[in-house]
Amino acid sequence: MYTILGSGRFAYELVRGLDVDTKDILVIDEDENNLKELKKEGFSVLLVDGLSSDVIKDNIKSQDKVFILGEDPIKNLKLVNITKEHFPDITIIANAPGREIEDEMGRIKGVVPIRISDSVTNALKSALETRIKEKTATLLRKILQKAGSGTVAIFTHNDPDPDSMASALAFSAICENEGLSSKIYHGGEISHQENLELVHLLDIELHRIEDQDELKIALNNSSKVVMIETAIPGENNVLPSDFVPNIILDHHPTPREVAASDLVDIRSDVGALSSILTTYLQQLDVKMDAKLATALLYALKVDTKSFTRKVSPTDLRAAAFLSPFADENLLKRIESPPMTPSTMDVIGNAIVNREVKDGVMFSAVGYVEERDALPQAAEFLLRESDVKVVGLCGIRGYNIHISARSNDPSIHLGDVVRRTFGNLGSAGGHPGSAGVQISLDKVNIEDKSDKELIANEVANMCRKMFFTGFGIDISAKTI
Looking at residue 18, what is its pLDDT? 55
* In the predicted structure, residue 123 carries a pLDDT above the cut 60: no
- Does the residue 476 lie in any domain? no
* In the predicted structure, residue 118 carries a pLDDT above the cut 60: no
Closest CA to 469 of 379, 338, 364, 358: 358
Task: Give me the mean pLDDT over the 166-182 stretch.
Answer: 95
Looking at residue 309, what is its pLDDT? 79
370 vs 361, which has greater pLDDT? Answer: 361
CATH number of the structural domain spanning residue 395: 3.10.310.30
- Regarding whether 232 and 276 lie in a shared domain, the answer is yes
Write the DSSP symbol of residue 217.
H
Find all residues with CB under 8 Å of 125, minimum gap 6, and list them.
8, 9, 10
37 vs 113, which has greater pLDDT? Answer: 113
Domain of 218, in residue numbers = 129-335
- Regarding whether 191 and 169 lie in a shared domain, the answer is yes
* In the predicted structure, residue 36 carries a pLDDT above the cut 80: no
- Regarding whether 253 and 145 lie in a shared domain, the answer is yes
- Regarding whether 275 and 152 lie in a shared domain, the answer is yes
Name the strands in the sheet holding 399-406, side by side, starting at the edge strand that comes first in the sequence: 355-357, 360-367, 389-396, 399-406, 433-439, 426-429
Residue 133's pLDDT band (boundaries 50, 70, 90)?
low
From 276, 306, 335, the end of a domain falls on: 335
- Does the residue 478 lie in any domain? no
Looking at residue 168, what is its pLDDT? 96
- Regarding whether 303 and 156 lie in a shared domain, the answer is yes
Helix then strand then coil, in percent of the chain rounded to 5, is: 45, 20, 35
Task: Give me the mean pLDDT over the 22-47 stretch.
Answer: 77
Looking at residue 63, what is its pLDDT? 78
Residue 20's pLDDT band (boundaries 50, 70, 90)?
low
Find all residues with CB under 8 Å of 242, minimum gap 6, and list them.
233, 234
- Regarding whether 142 and 98 lie in a shared domain, the answer is no
In angstroms, the Cα distances linking 122 to 9, 115, 170, 197, 296 are 11, 14, 29, 41, 27
From 57, 85, 116, the end of a domain falls on: 116
Looking at residue 372, what is its pLDDT? 81
Find all residues with CB under 8 Å of 25, minimum gap 6, and list them.
1, 2, 3, 4, 15, 18, 43, 44
* In the predicted structure, residue 46 carries a pLDDT above the cut 70: yes
* Residue-by-residue DSSP string for 252-314: S--SS----SSEEEE-TTSS-HHHHHHHHHHHTTPPP-HHHHHHHHHHHHHHTTTTTSS--HH
- Does the residue 477 lie in any domain? no
- Does the residue 479 lie in any domain? no
Total domains, the chain: 3
Residue 126's pLDDT band (boundaries 50, 70, 90)?
low
Q: Which of 127-131, 222-226, 308-312, 329-333 has the lowest mean pLDDT?
A: 127-131
Q: Which of 25-34, 70-79, 347-356 has the lowest mean pLDDT?
A: 25-34
Contact 37, 54 (CB under 8 A): no
Looking at residue 471, what is its pLDDT? 92
CATH number of the structural domain spanning residue 67: 3.40.50.720
CATH number of the structural domain spanning residue 197: 3.90.1640.10
Q: How far apart are CA 332 and CA 337, in angstroms?
A: 9
Extended beta strands in 351-419, E state: 355-357, 360-367, 389-396, 399-406
For residue range 209-249, list pLDDT tens digits in order: 999 999 999 999 999 999 999 998 988 899 998 999 999 99
In angstroms, the Cα distances linking 374 to 355, 394, 416 are 16, 7, 18
- Regarding whether 34 and 6 lie in a shared domain, the answer is yes
Looking at residue 182, what is its pLDDT? 95
Handedness of CA 423, 425, 426, 428 (dihedral sign): negative
Residue 131's pLDDT band (boundaries 50, 70, 90)?
low
Write the DSSP symbol of residue 367.
E
- Regarding whether 302 and 235 lie in a shared domain, the answer is yes
Half-sphere exposure of 387 (CA within 13 A, CB side): 21
Q: Which helix (H) or strand (E) holds 415?
A: helix 413-421
* In the predicted structure, residue 24 carries a pLDDT above the cut 80: no
Looking at residue 478, what is its pLDDT? 44
SS3 340: coil
Angle between helix 73-86 and 99-106 (nearest 10): 10
For residue range 420-457, list pLDDT tens digits in order: 999 998 888 888 888 999 998 888 776 667 888 899 99
- Give the number of residues written for the chain: 479
- Regarding whether 380 and 443 lie in a shared domain, the answer is yes
Q: Cα torsion at 382, 194, 153, 137 (round to 10°)?
A: -80
- Does the residue 70 lie in any domain? yes
- Does the residue 313 lie in any domain? yes
- Regarding whether 254 and 329 lie in a shared domain, the answer is yes
Extended beta strands in 48-197, E state: 65-68, 91-95, 111-114, 151-156, 182-186
* Residue-by-residue DSSP string for 120-157: HHHHHHHHHHHHHHHHHHHHHHHHHHTSTTSEEEEEE-
Q: Which of 59-68, 118-127, 295-304 has the lowest mean pLDDT?
A: 118-127
Task: Give me the mean pLDDT over the 334-355 stretch.
Answer: 88
- Does the residue 474 lie in any domain? no
- Regarding whether 314 and 282 lie in a shared domain, the answer is yes
Q: Which helix (H) or strand (E) holds 197?
A: helix 193-202
Question: Among residues of the chain, what percentage have pLDDT more than 90?
Answer: 48
Task: Give me the mean pLDDT over the 255-278 stretch.
Answer: 86
From 90, 116, 142, the end of a domain falls on: 116
Q: Which of 77-86, 111-120, 463-472 has the lowest mean pLDDT?
A: 111-120
* In the predicted structure, residue 458 carries a pLDDT above the cut 60: yes
Looking at residue 129, what is its pLDDT? 59
Looking at residue 383, what is its pLDDT? 92
- Regarding whether 446 and 375 lie in a shared domain, the answer is yes
- Does the residue 56 lie in any domain? yes
In angstroms, the Cα distances linking 76 to 70, 95, 171 are 6, 7, 44
